[in-house]
Amino acid sequence: MTIPGRLGPALSVLKAERGRRDLGGALATLALLAAVAAAPWLVPVAALNDLGQAVLLGLFAIGFNIVFKYSGLLSFGHAAFFGVAAYAEALLLRAFPAVPVPLLILGAAAGAGLLGLLLGHVCVRRTGAYFSMTTLAVGAFLYTIAFKWHAVTGGTDGLDEFMPAALVLLPGWRLTNPSITEIYELSAAFLIPFTLATWLILEHTPFGNAVQLVRQNEERAAFLGYDTHRVKLTNYGLAAFVAGIAGALWAISNGFVSTDSIDLTLSTTVIIMAFIGGTAWFWGPLLGSAIYIFGSDRLSAVTQHWQLWMGLAFIALVLAFPRGIAGLASLLASRLVRPRDG
């Protein structure tokens, strides 16, 4: 088919621009994941602990952003899946210390994903503020269970002494008293493949296209034959699973699980992390987590009112750069590589 007039050249320019964006996004993704993998050789051990916390909370923030970016739903209770997986991992390690840790982590994350599917039947039927308030209520309910069920969760005392003498990675491969570096490497070994697979699913598969179509126009998607509820529910379960991986690794990294892992404060903190990094880019929350962790750590060392200054910095960032750090970097990069006229 011949494209009349100037429409052909215009479409060619649009395709070229989209190709540059896709290539730039892929290169940025590879660079970010390479930095995560190489961190033990690039970062001092003193800073590696903070970076490990940032990686885990960044994975959690990515789980939140799967719902926010791709389904357009703002969850105020996403810590429920993080916390449930953290408690499940602690209990599994205590009950099955000889089982390889990767299997226990996947089991805890699968439990969080299943919980997401069950709760999602109620939550994703709602939109806007109704969805947000429903997730807030669900999160508060699960927090109350963790707070009151002292026999299982330890209540306000939390769970400790669940780490075995040696973590079994594979038959014949154990980590005895794992170091900060080894814990970080374990976290990165889960973050890199699972987040990369999730990114590919949501950005480069028919399912990802369906999720984004449902967000853009749910009525049109339903008219085209998509089961919009099932699409949103599956995406919600995927987000819960990713958050569950982060929660399970959090329990191993800290050797302690308390109600702080499932409360409203964590649910709001993860939103801040995602917005700092930029929700428009899949990997933006990972950047936001690193900025938040290192920023709060440095501020808390110089002032007791670090939360106030972090809050003011967050407000200023959102007002100045609504798309977060990733959006700012993308804007600067586009201006640097933009071809000159003429």
Beta-ladder partners of 159: 257
Which residue has better confidence, 71 or 329?
71
Residues 6+ apart with CB under 8 A from 320: none
Residue 203 has pLDDT above 50, yes or no: yes
Q: Say if residues 288 and 277 touch (Cβ distance below 8 Å).
A: yes
In which band, very low, low, confident or very high, does the pLDDT at 196 lie, cut at 50, 70 and 90? very high
The predicted model scores a pTM of 0.89
**Which of the pair, 237 or 334, is modelled with greater confidence?**
237
- CA gap 81, 120 in Å, rounded: 12
On whether the CB atoms of residues 291 and 333 are closer than 8 A, the answer is: no
Q: End-to-end distance of the chain based on CA atoms, in angstroms? A: 29
Average pLDDT value for residue range 17-33: 72
What are 63-73's pLDDT values in tens digits? 999 999 999 99
- The conformation of residue 283, written as its DSSP 8-state character, comes to T
In sign, the C-alpha dihedral spanning 149, 125, 284, 102 is positive
**pLDDT at res. 333:** 67
Please give the Cα distance from 101 to 168 (Å, whole number).
Answer: 6
Judged against a pLDDT cut of 70, whether residue 88 lies above it is answered with: yes
Euclidean distance between CA atoms 306 and 132, whole angstroms: 28
Domain ranges of the chain: 45-264
Q: Rounded to an integer, what distance in angstroms lies between the CA atom of residue 206 and that of residue 337?
A: 31
The answer to whether residue 291 scores a pLDDT higher than 70 is yes
Per-residue pLDDT tens over the stretch 71-87 = 999 999 999 999 999 99
Half-sphere exposure of 240 (CA within 13 A, CB side): 28
